[in-house]
Amino acid sequence: MKTLKPAVVLVSLMVAVICGGAMLSAQATPPKVGDKAPDFTLAQIDGRKLTLSTELAAGPVVLIVGRGWVGYQCPFCNRQFNDFVKAAKEVDAAGARVIWVYPGAAEGIQDRANEFAKDRTFPANFRFVLDPGYAFTMRYGLRWDAPKESAYPSTFVLDRQGSVRYALISKTHDGRATAAEVLTELKKIGR
């Protein structure tokens, strides 16, 4: 059996890491208009599992990724959340539902999500799911890996086939999609 020299082993490992890193970054590209959104299963705030493909079988989906817990409950997330809750009837009339993703560190995410949801009424077509440990956020290429950050605030409108018909990814705390903008996109899709 032939023994490899340490330099050959080192170069081989470097190539593997570089190639593997390229593969990871390719998977971590946020979906854009025309892409098929990656399927996922996440727990809702009450613990029940939600799968994107199951939701899509019933109609279009508005997928919103908030910032989650970043040392405080984000006022821009609160504003956007309330905007979509107020528009729930119009979203429902378009045959769609909203999935709100609340990302955060695995430890404590349930308590922080409960704090965010406290005293809120969730419309029947509104789902609130948790992303503990940022697995979903990283898969969607939305991890904002900086101090006191979690995810880039993002909104996607998906048709029944899971194709992205609208995408807005903010690289700031604000710059969010409004319910009115999303309703315009939903009207283009139809039920």
DSSP 108-172: THHHHHHHHHTTPPPPTTEEEEEEETTHHHHHTT-B--STT--B--EEEEE-TT-BEEEEEE-SS
Mean pLDDT of 131-149: 94
Top pLDDT among 52 and 21 is at 52
Give the residue-averaged pLDDT of 40-56: 97
Q: Comparing 20 with 103, which gets the higher pLDDT?
A: 103
Residue 25 has pLDDT above 70, yes or no: no
pLDDT of 191: 66
Using 50, 70 and 90 to split pLDDT, how confident is the model at 7?
Answer: very low
Residue closest to 73 by CA, chosen among 106, 42, 111, 45: 111
The pTM for the full model equals 0.85
pLDDT at res. 4: 45
Mean model confidence pLDDT for the chain: 88
For position 15, what pLDDT does the model report?
34
